[in-house]
Amino acid sequence: MGTGTNAGIFFHTENPGPKKKVEKGYECQICDDGFKDPRKTGSLYDVQDLKESAAKPEEWATYVIRVEGKRITLIVNGKTTVDYTEPDDAIEQNGFIALQIHAGNPTEAWYKEIVIEELP
């Protein structure tokens, strides 16, 4: 990620169309300590939030997002940052995977070697 980055990786989401907020799914936050958002890299946005980024700006990081049934695990650079299980009454979700960056800010997010695997 670049310096001052505020971006994310969404899953179980939908395309809400122009000027609408994403209201479905989850965001795996990508936000370095230099950006004003209090939710930092490695957070499951608004579910389990980190106050310090699990990755350094200007360095490549490995971000593993594992969704197995109702269990969501986020791992940044080999360290588990989130291990969350949805409540029993949560509706099973599906939807798209999306890469996000906030417009209007001098920010960059870089992605490479994206791999999507189906779990056994």
pLDDT one-digit tens code per residue, 72-89 = 999 999 999 999 999 988
The dihedral formed by the CA atoms of 19, 95, 84 and 38, expressed in degrees to the nearest 10: -20
- Reported as a single tens digit per residue, the pLDDT across 45-74 is 999 999 999 998 888 999 999 999 999 999
Domain ranges of the chain: 6-60+87-101
Q: What's the Cα-to-Cα distance from 112 to each of 8, 24, 61, 78, 97, rounded to whole Å? A: 14, 25, 10, 17, 15
User: How many Å apart are CA 4 and CA 107, to the nearest integer?
Assistant: 6
